[in-house]
Structure 1
Amino acid sequence: MTRAMTHIAYFGLIVLLTLSVPAAFVGDPRAARHAIVVIGILGAWRYSWATINFTRAIIFRRFAHPKRKRKAFKRYKESGVVSHAFFMVTSYMVDQDTTLMVYRRLFRAAANAEGGATIVSSVVDGADERLIRQVYATMQEDMSSVKLVIDRIKSNGKRDAMARALRILASFSPTPHDIMIFVDGDTVVPDDVVAQSAPWFSDPNVGALTTHEAAIIEEEGLFKDWFTLRFNQRQVMMCSMGLARNVLTLTGRMSVFRATLATDPNFVQGVGHDYLDHWRLGRVNFLTGDDKSTWYWLLRNGYQMLYLPDVVSRSVETQPRDTFFDSAKTLMVRWFGNMMRTNGRALTLGPKAMGFFTWWSILDQRVSMFTTLVGPISILATAILLTPAVLPLYIGWVLATRYIFCAFIALFNGTWFPVTHPPTLYFSQIVGAAIKTFVLFRLDKQKWTRQNSTGKAAVLAYFDRLKAVESAAHHVATLCWLTIAVLFVMTI
């Protein structure tokens, strides 16, 4: 079936779902009141918020970013300063083919750095060290201006590796004009990353920047479609946040920092040992989420964090579990756990520290997880208490509205999309919201995808079991109160 035919069939399904709803149901005033709960005030709020972000994203990419870029490059050129580029690379359990691809491109980007480059690579396996040195020695480019340092460490986690590497980089005494590029061992950097990044730091208010991302996934399927959609969504949201000169995350795959800030002892301490003192869970040491720790440190200290929509890093993504659902769930638990552990303390900084829109966006991250669940809860309640005829109408509504969202996202990115994107978008919204509520009450639960970082013994202590029961009780109680509130509104 051709691409056009699949989309025609998609709309045919929407029509069939709509026609399957009995006429009596559409004319029932009780049913109308129930439907208003779904597409009424909360729906208008969410769609308005999406419209605001789409509008801001267009303004940023079409007008604000090009203008700011011209000023930054002009300012950098007139300063006469040439930035030295420091690279910090962390590799753990990355296959050989990926390591070869990543380091060839990394060394090429370093060789292209006008002011020279220094690379500190943190590795665990001796085989990785030998392979990296071999790639460095066999590069066709002139590597005389590139210094390579390999830090062989024990497998104590990414945060420990980053802190060690940053201390090594600090020994090279970077200047305020130099930049430092954080790179994961499975991420391919663009060849001109230094030339595209350094000019932005001619503004002393800029502390870091992050770029557009794309995924390298060989196997076709739902997992690849999901990642493509996520990165396309990310481009829209990051452009919207870029207009405010403060993004909501400095992605750990590849971000660029002012070198003197990245080697500040307090910054290094925040990367190596970050934590949260929770009223119920006690001291929660952060094992994952280093990108959120760096982001929070710069936000708290008043530095701008920019977004470059026209510079793309590419990361190799592999499905961590056998099925799509299990893989998506595993990744979202980690992603959203990192987000929830940090955005609460970011909110306490207040709008003055970051601007109202950035602060409101952080607040929305915490509120939207519950408002997103109102629709499914109200529809299920309507189906149980009134008539199941509401279900095909709701499914048709979901398919239609998510198709429109995907069309806007695709147009913004200059691409097209498969019919899997609209239902996948709904899956990400609903399952993602449910997972956010789950991790909100279990901030102490952390785990990397490729390594054991749970921080727990095999047999949980009594206090840990008590906390787990308490977390479940708080979670269930909150969802029950949300359901009661929805039912109350439906009876008004």
Structure 2
Amino acid sequence: MNAQSAADPSAVNRFLKSVVAWSALFLVIVLLAGLVDPRYLDPQHKQFLFLLGFIGMWRYSNAFMHYCRGMYFLYWKYPRMRKQADKLGDQALPSEIYMVVTSFRIPSHTTYRVYRSVFEEAARVGVPVTVIVSIVERSDEVLIKDILRRHIPDGAQVKLVIVRARGTGKRDGLAHAFRALSRQMPADDAVVGVVDGDTKLLPGCVANAVKFFKLLPTVGGITTNEFCEVEGSELIRQWHALRFAQRHVNMCSMAVSKRVLTMTGRLSFFRSKILIDPLFISDVEADHLDHWRLGRFQFLTGDDKSSWFSLMRAGWDTFYAPDSNTLTVEHPPEKNFFKATRQLMFRWYGNSLRQNIRTTKLLGYERLGLFTSYVLYDQRVSMWTCLLGLTVSLVASIIYGAQYIIIYFLWVAISRTIMTLAYAFSGHSINPMYPLVLYYNQVAGSAMKVYALFNMNKQSWTRQKTTLDSGSGRFDAVLNQVSSKIMLFSSLCIFFGAVSVLIHLTQRAY
């Protein structure tokens, strides 16, 4: 701590709590290590350990590969690209910028902070900026106009356009805003930022991102780095913070190949000619999936995945600007940690799986590239492998003794602590709660992925509390529900059959 922080009692308390928490974490690891009987690490058990270790090596090698690619991009490739963009100076800026902001049922104090940051960043960037706001309530319009009047000088080149949406979902709101954008007749080199109504723009985030469109002519969309401010318990705050740290590393990794897998709705930038394309607007407004069992159904959520797919299908690359920073004001859908995270994970992972299946089927490795194709296919496998270690260890501990589950949790504690410490180099803060949260994410997240895989048509917004109307008859709806349960049950049977094979091989090791 420096002298200033040492004089601040709250900073001293935070430091002491951190020291105690990290000490408790390492104490748990030491205690678990002390409970392990050395005989269970004897070579006679090598077959069992090898089988689990082989799967673990494969999973951790994937994580290590992403981490190394991410650090290479963050500390080597991107700084050199940033220098090239900065050398262009103001010439790298587009002639005009548009900011599309969507808001629906967001608390007024959050709306005030978000729109003030948007207007101030628009005035700061140095080129004409038009802010297109897609809202539902009249009260939001009054508040937004008041924010513009109070905080933006009269001479600033900032124009406000209000679009009233129907409140039928974010996709409709975006489509209305994109059509309003097309009526503005943007210049050929214009860039459009799409901002969520709960995302505060940090100084310099617009200029830091839009300059790369001049430097990278094949890039059609650029997404940004996110930090979070969560209105909830300490546990859910750390859960969100860890998610953004993991996202940052994965984004950097995929940016090496210019194949960032999502154009986040928090803040992403696009070339204007892409957003006014009727096909792109249709993709965002009425995206759908033709499923072999569930038929055709529309995507209610996941507009960020739809925009990414539309870019990739049109032949554009995608990129990530790690120094274009935003602060997301998160409002958990439930006060209960487990209910809130379950709802959020089901929405996020369902969106990913729906786009995963459609993307690999329609685009293929010729368009995606070998590495991106591998990452997408690996997403379908990882949900099972994350559950395999826990399940096998539990069964082995029941059959052979509790030492196996102790060894398993010792490995979990050590490996997740190492992963937590590695995130310190990403630029995001770390917390001693991360190892526990990491493991919870992997186990609970895998369970939610498995459930979402067989219930692709189930979707809902956590804020709007709206669900997808299947539009089918009673018989079709019942058939879909029954077939989803049968498919899920069959897959779980196959999974536990694989666990039985591993246990049988373990018996042969004795």
Please, what TM-score do these two structures have when normalized by structure 1? 0.94
Deviation at 1:46, TM superposition (A): 1.0
Deviation at 1:457, TM superposition (A): 8.3
Alignment pair present for 1:405 and 2:419? yes
**Matched length:** 488
Alignment of 1:43-54 (within 5 A): 43-54=56-67
Deviates more, 1:235-244 or 1:452-461: 452-461
Structure 1 residues 442 and 279, CA gap change in structure 2 (3 angstroms): same
Which of 147, 170, 175 is the equivalent residue of 2:159?
Answer: 147
Report the aligned-residue RMSD.
Answer: 2.0
Distance in 1, Cα, partners of 2:223 & 2:404: 44
Alignment pair present for 1:270 and 2:286? no
Which of 338, 341, 359 is the equivalent residue of 1:325?
Answer: 338
Alignment pair present for 1:468 and 2:481? yes
Which of 333, 340, 353 is the equivalent residue of 1:340?
Answer: 353
Deviation at 1:476, TM superposition (A): 1.6
Deviation at 1:258, TM superposition (A): 0.6
Alignment pair present for 1:449 and 2:462? yes
Q: Give CA-to-partner distance per residue, 1:354-377, whole Å, 9 cap, x none.
A: 222222111211111112111112
Alignment of 1:250-265 (within 5 A): 250-265=263-278
Distance in 2, Cα, partners of 1:70 & 1:461: 60
Alignment pair present for 1:86 and 2:112? no
Deviation at 1:410, TM superposition (A): 1.8
Alignment of 1:22-421 (within 5 A): 22-27=37-42, 29=44, 31-38=45-52, 40-75=53-88, 77=90, 82-142=94-154, 144-202=156-214, 203-348=216-361, 349-413=363-427, 415=429, 417-421=430-434
Task: Determine helix, strand or coil for the equivalent of 1:58.
Answer: helix
Task: Determine helix, strand or coil for the equivalent of 2:461.
Answer: coil
Distance in 2, Cα, partners of 1:155 & 1:414: 35
Structure 1 residues 376 and 148, CA gap change in structure 2 (3 angstroms): same
Q: Are the counterparts in 2 of residues 122 and 152 from structure 1 also a CA contact under 8 Å?
A: yes
Task: Determine helix, strand or coil for the equivalent of 2:462.
Answer: coil
Q: Are the counterparts in 2 of residues 108 and 141 from structure 1 also a CA contact under 8 Å?
A: no
Deviation at 1:51, TM superposition (A): 1.3
Structure 1 residues 436 and 414, CA gap change in structure 2 (3 angstroms): closer
Task: Determine helix, strand or coil for the equivalent of 2:69.
Answer: helix
Q: Are the counterparts in 2 of residues 206 and 303 from structure 1 also a CA contact under 8 Å?
A: yes
Distance in 2, Cα, partners of 1:93 & 1:143: 32
Distance in 2, Cα, partners of 1:132 & 1:36: 61
Distance in 2, Cα, partners of 1:156 & 1:101: 25
Deviation at 1:489, TM superposition (A): 3.2
Q: Are the counterparts in 1 of residues 201 and 326 from structure 2 also a CA contact under 8 Å?
A: yes
Deviation at 1:77, TM superposition (A): 4.9
Unaligned runs of 5+ in 1: none
Deviation at 1:302, TM superposition (A): 1.6
Deviation at 1:384, TM superposition (A): 2.5
Deviation at 1:247, TM superposition (A): 0.5
Alignment pair present for 1:11 and 2:34? no
Deviation at 1:257, TM superposition (A): 0.6
Task: Determine helix, strand or coil for the equivalent of 1:138.
Answer: helix
Deviation at 1:71, TM superposition (A): 2.5
Distance in 2, Cα, partners of 1:323 & 1:478: 30
Deviation at 1:233, TM superposition (A): 1.1
Q: Give CA-to-partner distance per residue, 1:32-79, whole Å, 9 cap, x none.
A: 4333332x2111111111111111111101111111222234457557
Q: Are the counterparts in 2 of residues 223 and 324 from structure 1 also a CA contact under 8 Å?
A: yes
Distance in 1, Cα, partners of 2:162 & 2:188: 24
Deviation at 1:323, TM superposition (A): 1.0
Unaligned runs of 5+ in 2: 1-15, 506-510
Q: Are the counterparts in 2 of residues 211 and 313 from structure 1 also a CA contact under 8 Å?
A: yes
Please, what TM-score do these two structures have when normalized by structure 2? 0.91
Task: Determine helix, strand or coil for the equivalent of 2:211.
Answer: helix
Distance in 1, Cα, partners of 2:35 & 2:87: 62
The AA in structure 2 aligned to 1:19 is G
Task: Determine helix, strand or coil for the equivalent of 2:127.
Answer: coil
Structure 1 residues 145 and 451, CA gap change in structure 2 (3 angstroms): same
Distance in 2, Cα, partners of 1:28 & 1:384: 21
The AA in structure 2 aligned to 1:72 is A
The AA in structure 2 aligned to 1:230 is R
Task: Determine helix, strand or coil for the equivalent of 2:261.
Answer: coil
